[in-house]
């Protein structure tokens, strides 16, 4: 059993990998049911495709916070870290693809006097 944590935006995913038949559950639902968009499904499964380990591990993931896109990124990060724990020889391929790097981009906070983080009211000279 291999455990790891992955993060993206404001989402946090905890992954548990066990050797098995390739069952993939996110928050108790099959991954195809949880991530309704094909792009998000492919993003979540990409570490397995890259390392050619599809169907080798059973995956259980608990993810919370953020939206679906951030959650899919957090799932990818968590799975990549767990795969690295399972087989350290996969490090080079995962590192080169950028799956081990935590994406630091977050939403910028709103500032007072502005409508959003940077959007202001229209300037009027008179």
3-state secondary structure of 109: coil
For 55-105, write each residue's pLDDT tens digit. Answer: 999 999 999 999 999 999 999 999 999 999 999 999 999 999 999 999 999
62, β-bridge pairs: 14
**Structural domains of the chain ordered from first start:** 1-95 (3.30.230.10)
Question: Residue 38 has what DSSP assignment?
Answer: H
The pLDDT of residue 120 is: 94
């Amino acid at each position: 059993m291999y455990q790891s944590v992955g993060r993206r935006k404001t989402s946090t995913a905890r992954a548990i990998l066990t050797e098995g038949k390739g069952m993939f559950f996110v928050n108790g639902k099959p991954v195809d049911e949880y991530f309704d968009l094909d792009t998000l499904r492919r993003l979540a499964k990409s570490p397995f495709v890259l390392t050619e380990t599809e169907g080798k591990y059973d995956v259980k993931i608990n993810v919370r916070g953020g939206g679906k896109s951030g959650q899919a990124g957090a799932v990818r990060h968590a799975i990549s870290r767990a795969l690295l724990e399972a087989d350290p020889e996969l490090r080079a391929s995962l590192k080169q693809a950028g799956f081990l790097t935590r994406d630091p981009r977050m939403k910028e906070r709103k500032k007072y006097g502005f409508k959003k983080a940077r959007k202001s009211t229209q300037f009027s000279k008179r």
